[in-house]
């Protein structure tokens, strides 16, 4: 049909975008035809991302308007940087973002599932089934699938001493990332970082205590976990000591500058005596500030603002090392890590407000003379920093994103230690359960439920396709084994290990990740099926 046809065009950066026929003709479609055009737009976005699913998924190069290049296979990043105009395509972008915000992982899977559900909806619309009945059937099927997830889930035990199961979960999350070559090391660091800050009794992981930083140079294998804070700054004067032991840190958000008259009037200096007087006043003020800091017993100053050469020189003369231009979030992290207080005025500085760290040292890199400051053995030992290295900025950024997903996967396990098995095993099991439930329903919703079961199969099909296997044959074989062997852990052998049992391959997905994927995808599809018209602001009725 003419409404279904789409034209591909590229912008000046070579990025493809889609012009739907009805957009090109500026016509307005109503009812079922509008829903079809919405489904087409959403499916197009879903198909772009589909090839990035799984451990053998392919990466995408994203070019920003400024010409910056990002190479990634992270669903949320791809969709976040794609410029989509169609309102329904924008809903898919928000879907991946909400999965990212809530769970932190599984962003590609949720969009693939939503796209598959919309594809199935289109077939049901062709058969004359009303969109609301389809939406109701999907809702019913989703509740069956979520109950099946609970049934097939396993509780896995872990302790701070035995973190094997957390390690396997982190490894599964990293399997599809660019860092998979070093994924044992990355997985271990993700587990160690989360356990360092986690409160296991309350099942709480404060992510603001974990900082992920990166620097170009070295290889991915050079990743380090620092029990403390790392900031991309160095001492303000090259002759200041590069190491401070037993550091008592004054954390300031006030500048090392003489106070200025808060008026709009200007000060005219007409003689040498007046200039000398002003210089002396400034010098005395600097000395007073340094004395106020030294009187509290501080031996290191970390300041949010800068200070001029004179203040810098005086600090060095008074043997008071200082770091300047430290950003707001980093200042907060240093305050949390060292149990210090952020002080807005020199007059408020007291010994009780100082932060403490066992050692503060500068870290140098290669021949570039780049330096960073490491604050270790802090009073609050829970704050940690993961320091990532890589051969270029693109790899460092992707490694950071991969690590974020792994940290979220471990966090999810601490929140709820139930897992389901990956590799499409959970989807196949839920698909079979939904098909079985559909057979017992006399109403028209049974068609929608069977369509939901077919949509769930889209995930293992995409995994098989991306791994170079024959999708339909592989899925049929695994599905048959599910029925005959009753083993819900059988999935797609993406890595060619000759073993379909995901329990033996240790491919673990947190239960809350899968449940959230199903619920969010179903909610989105239900919303799309209820939209029968798009009215742009200021558009006149024809």
Q: What is the pLDDT of residues 259-302, one digit of tens each?
A: 666 666 677 788 888 888 888 888 888 888 888 888 888 888 99
Q: Which two tokens stand for residue 333?
A: 């992290």
Q: Which of 380, 397, 412 is the last residue of a domain?
A: 380
pLDDT at 428 over 80: yes
Please state the rounded mean pLDDT for residues 444-461.
92
**Edge-to-edge strand list for the sheet holding 418-421:** 154-155, 418-421, 508-510
CA distance 401 to 392: 15
Residue 108 is among the residues annotated as catalytic for this protein: yes
Task: Please report whether residue 403 resides in a domain.
Answer: no
Task: Please report whether residue 399 resides in a domain.
Answer: no
Q: Which of 328, 357, 380 is the last residue of a domain?
A: 380
Share of the chain above pLDDT 90, in %: 19
More confident residue, 258 or 304: 304
pLDDT at 506 over 80: yes
State residue 7's pLDDT score. 54
Burial of 428 (0-12, 13-18, 19+ CB in 10 A): buried
Based on the fold, state whether residues 438 and 371 are members of the same structural domain.
no
Query: How do 6-10 and 16-20 pair as beta strands?
Result: antiparallel
Catalytic pick among 136, 405, 457, 509: 405
State residue 145's pLDDT score. 94
More confident residue, 250 or 160: 250
Q: How many helices (H) and strands (E) does the chain have?
A: 18, 17
Any bridge partners for residue 217, and if so which?
Answer: 390
pLDDT at 23 over 60: no
Residue 2's pLDDT band, with cuts at 50, 70 and 90, is: very low
Q: Report, in angstroms and rounded to the nearest whole number, the Rg of the chain calculated over CA atoms.
A: 29
Lowest mean pLDDT among 3-7, 56-60, 278-282: 3-7
Residue 74's pLDDT band, with cuts at 50, 70 and 90, is: confident
Based on the fold, state whether residues 232 and 373 are members of the same structural domain.
yes
Could you list the residue range(s) of the whole structural domain that residue 255 is in?
228-380
More confident residue, 21 or 413: 413
Catalytic pick among 44, 72, 74, 163: 74
CB 223 within 8 A of CB 388: yes
266: domain CATH number? 3.50.7.10
Based on the fold, state whether residues 30 and 140 are members of the same structural domain.
yes
State residue 146's pLDDT score. 94
Query: How do 355-365 and 370-378 pair as beta strands?
Result: antiparallel
Based on the fold, state whether residues 366 and 441 are members of the same structural domain.
no
Share of the chain above pLDDT 70, in %: 92
Please state the rounded mean pLDDT for residues 387-415.
88
Residue 427's pLDDT band, with cuts at 50, 70 and 90, is: very high
Residue 71's pLDDT band, with cuts at 50, 70 and 90, is: confident
Based on the fold, state whether residues 118 and 249 are members of the same structural domain.
no
| Neighbouring C-beta atoms of residue 380, cutoff 10 Å | 17
Residue 392's pLDDT band, with cuts at 50, 70 and 90, is: confident
**Edge-to-edge strand list for the sheet holding 210-216:** 210-216, 384-390, 224-226
Based on the fold, state whether residues 425 and 375 are members of the same structural domain.
no
State residue 474's pLDDT score. 92
Based on the fold, state whether residues 474 and 350 are members of the same structural domain.
no
Please state the rounded mean pLDDT for residues 491-500.
86
Q: What is the pLDDT of residues 91-150, one digit of tens each?
A: 888 888 888 888 888 888 899 999 999 999 989 988 889 899 999 999 999 999 999 999
Task: Please report whether residue 514 resides in a domain.
Answer: yes
Please state the rounded mean pLDDT for residues 441-460.
92
pLDDT at 361 over 90: no
Q: How many domains does the chain have?
A: 2
Lowest mean pLDDT among 11-25, 177-191, 334-348: 11-25
Based on the fold, state whether residues 240 and 336 are members of the same structural domain.
yes
Residue 405 is among the residues annotated as catalytic for this protein: yes
Q: Which of 380, 408, 435 is the last residue of a domain?
A: 380
Q: What is the pTM of this model?
A: 0.80
Based on the fold, state whether residues 375 and 438 are members of the same structural domain.
no
Tokens 């919303």 belong to residue: 527
CB 231 within 8 A of CB 323: yes
Distances (CA, A) of 157 to 150, 160, 165, 426, 505: 17, 11, 7, 20, 18
State residue 480's pLDDT score. 92
CB 355 within 8 A of CB 334: yes
151: domain CATH number? 1.10.560.10
State residue 13's pLDDT score. 63
CB 225 within 8 A of CB 190: no
Based on the fold, state whether residues 119 and 249 are members of the same structural domain.
no
> In 19-66, which residue ranges form alpha helices assigned H by DSSP?
21-24, 31-50
Based on the fold, state whether residues 60 and 120 are members of the same structural domain.
yes
Catalytic pick among 44, 70, 77, 108: 108
Task: Please report whether residue 171 resides in a domain.
Answer: no
Residue 415 is among the residues annotated as catalytic for this protein: no
The rounded mean pLDDT for the chain is 84
State residue 161's pLDDT score. 83
Catalytic pick among 107, 169, 338, 522: 107
């Amino acid at each position: 049909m003419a409404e279904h046809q789409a034209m591909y065009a590229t912008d000046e950066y070579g990025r493809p975008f889609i012009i739907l026929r009805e957009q090109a003709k500026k016509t307005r479609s109503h009812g079922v035809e509008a829903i079809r055009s919405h489904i087409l737009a959403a499916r197009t976005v879903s198909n772009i991302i589909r090839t990035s699913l799984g451990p053998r998924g392919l990466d995408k190069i994203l070019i920003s308007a400024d010409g910056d290049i990002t190479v990634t296979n992270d669903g949320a990043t791809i969709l976040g940087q794609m410029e989509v105009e169609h309102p329904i395509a924008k809903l898919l972008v928000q879907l991946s973002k909400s999965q990212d915000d809530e769970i932190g992982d599984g962003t590609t899977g949720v969009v693939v599932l939503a796209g598959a559900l919309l594809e199935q909806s289109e077939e049901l619309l062709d058969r004359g089934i009303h969109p609301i009945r389809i939406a109701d059937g999907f809702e019913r099927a989703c509740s069956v699938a979520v109950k099946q997830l609970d049934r097939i889930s396993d509780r896995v035990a872990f302790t701070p001493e035995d973190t094997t199961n957390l390690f396997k979960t982190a490894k599964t999350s990293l399997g599809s990332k660019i860092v998979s070559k070093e994924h044992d090391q990355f997985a271990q660091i993700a587990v160690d970082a989360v356990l360092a800050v986690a409160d296991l009794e309350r099942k709480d992981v404060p992510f603001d205590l974990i900082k992920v930083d990166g620097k170009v140079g070295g290889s991915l294998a050079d990743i380090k976990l620092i029990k403390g804070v790392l900031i991309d700054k160095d001492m303000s004067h090259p002759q200041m000591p590069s190491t401070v032991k037993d550091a008592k840190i004054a954390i300031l958000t006030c500048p090392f500058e003489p106070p200025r008259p808060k008026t709009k009037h200007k000060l005219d200096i007409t003689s040498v005596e007046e200039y000398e007087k002003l210089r002396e006043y400034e010098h005395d003020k600097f000395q007073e500030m340094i004395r106020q800091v030294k009187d509290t017993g501080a031996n290191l100053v970390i300041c949010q603002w800068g200070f001029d050469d004179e203040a810098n020189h005086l600090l060095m003369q008074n043997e008071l090392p200082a770091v300047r231009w430290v950003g707001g979030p980093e200042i907060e992290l240093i305050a949390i890590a060292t149990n210090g207080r952020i002080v807005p005025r020199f007059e408020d500085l007291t010994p009780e407000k100082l932060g403490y760290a066992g050692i503060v040292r500068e870290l140098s890199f290669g021949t570039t003379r780049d330096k960073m400051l490491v604050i270790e053995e802090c009073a609050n030992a829970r704050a940690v920093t993961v320091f990532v290295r890589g051969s270029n900025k693109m790899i460092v950024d992707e490694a950071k994103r991969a690590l974020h997903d792994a940290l979220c996967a471990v966090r999810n396990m601490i929140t709820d230690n139930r897992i389901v098995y990956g590799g499409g095993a959970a989807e196949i099991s839920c698909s079979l359960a939904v098909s079985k439930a559909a057979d017992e329903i006399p109403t028209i919703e049974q068609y929608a439920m069977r369509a939901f079961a077919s949509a769930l199969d889209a995930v293992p099909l995409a995994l098989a396709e991306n791994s170079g296997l024959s999708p339909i044959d592989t899925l049929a074989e695994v599905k048959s084994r599910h029925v005959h062997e009753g083993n819900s852990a059988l999935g797609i052998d993406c890595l060619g290990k000759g073993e379909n049992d995901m329990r033996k391959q240790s491919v673990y997905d947190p239960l809350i990740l899968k449940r959230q994927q199903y619920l969010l995808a179903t909610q989105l599809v239900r919303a799309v099926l209820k939209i029968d018209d798009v009215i742009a602001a200021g558009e006149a009725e024809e």
